[in-house]
Amino acid sequence: METRENVLLGCARMVREKLRPRRDETPDVPPEDDLSTAPRRAISADTESESRAWLKNLAAAGVIGVLGLAMAGAVATSGAANPTPETVPTALVSISDEVSEPDAFSGREDRGARNAPRGLLEDRAAEQQRRQAETKKSGIAAAQQDRAKALDQSQKQTEENEKRLESDTPSVWPLTSYTIRGAWHEYGPWARWHTGVDLSTSLGSPIVAPAGGVIEHAGPGGGAGSWAGCYVVIRHNDGKASLYAHMNCAMNVTVGQAVSPGTQLGHVGLTGRTFGPHLHLELYPPGVAPGDIYSTINPLPWLQQAG
């Protein structure tokens, strides 16, 4: 189809070129010797030129007509070969009452659809904030409860310590089984002046605190280490101090520890200057350093308060 049309167009161009007058053609000039016939020849030339022009126009019209018929046939042929597709009917979409027509912002959702997710997000955010507030509140409440429990336990511990410190009156004896062998200020082979009381018992018997107080010494050394061996000193709330000598060096208490009546201090041993397993107990008045043996007071009346 396209090749045929191109051929016809090319033929039309060739005809037009053939019929177009050439620029190099010049009018006939009569010779000088025939000047008498020049007017007649000029008229004849004009007539001949007009005739040629009519002939050229007629020939061009004929050629153009032929070319038009050829092109019409070519178009008809191409139309038969390539039929024009039928017009597709346009579907008409009706808008129901349930669906609103789009407004100027047809690319966006309607305001209600936009507000629905936003409201849902706001509800979720409010719920999350409420949960966080509840969690924080419950955490604060739990912390307050724990603190109240800790304060209560501390208060109870303080009260117990105060009771221990206030219990400076003996309520138990330091040994469950004993025999009094040497009294205070008694003269004997062990010393010229006995500075305490001796409670004879078996080796390894447990020794407990007869009254409450704070451990001031536990172990060897100190002011009485030269003769007492390993010993314990308890400073009572009223300022008195009780000393427990000739103990096993494996102590059950430490310095600074608060004790109450019945707290185990250690066991009977054979440390220091001793002639057999026994507990040597001394009592010092307030303001006297334990180990100053000639400043002791009689511990027996003090112990007998335990019954």
The boundaries of the domain holding residue 243 are 179-304
Confidence check: pLDDT of 213 > 80: yes
Confidence check: pLDDT of 229 > 80: yes
Confidence check: pLDDT of 234 > 70: yes
Pairing of strands 258-259, 264-267: unpaired
Confidence check: pLDDT of 52 > 60: yes
Alpha helices in the chain (DSSP H): 2-19, 38-81, 111-166, 225-228, 299-304
Exposed/middle/buried for 218, CB within 10 Å: 0-12, 13-18, 19+?
Answer: buried
Band the pLDDT of 185: cuts 50, 70, 90: confident
pTM of the complete model? 0.48
Confidence check: pLDDT of 31 > 70: no
Residue 68 has, within 13 A of its CA and on its CB side, a CA count of 6
Q: Is 131 a member of any domain?
A: no
Q: Is 228 a member of any domain?
A: yes
pLDDT in tens, 125-157: 888 888 888 888 888 888 888 888 888 888 887
Band the pLDDT of 242: cuts 50, 70, 90: very high
Q: Is 185 a member of any domain?
A: yes
Q: Is 208 a member of any domain?
A: yes
Q: Is 120 a member of any domain?
A: no
* Percent helix / strand / coil, the chain, rounded to 5: 45, 15, 40
Across the range 84-104, mean pLDDT stands at: 50
Alpha-carbon dihedral 282, 288, 290, 296, rounded to 10 degrees: -20
Confidence check: pLDDT of 241 > 80: yes
Sorted by sequence, the CB contacts under 8 Å of residue 187 that are 6+ apart come out as 193, 194
Pairing of strands 241-247, 230-235: antiparallel
256: CATH = 2.70.70.10
Residues in the chain: 307
Q: Is 158 a member of any domain?
A: no
Across the range 41-56, mean pLDDT stands at: 60
Confidence check: pLDDT of 267 > 90: yes
Q: What is the mean pLDDT of the chain?
A: 77
Say what percent of the chain tops pLDDT 70: 58
Sorted by sequence, the CB contacts under 8 Å of residue 245 that are 6+ apart come out as 196, 224, 227, 228, 229, 231, 272, 279, 280, 281, 282
Count of domains forming the chain = 1
Q: Is 31 a member of any domain?
A: no
Q: Is 267 a member of any domain?
A: yes
Residue 55: CB atoms within 10 A of its CB come to 11
pLDDT in tens, 271-288: 999 889 999 999 999 999
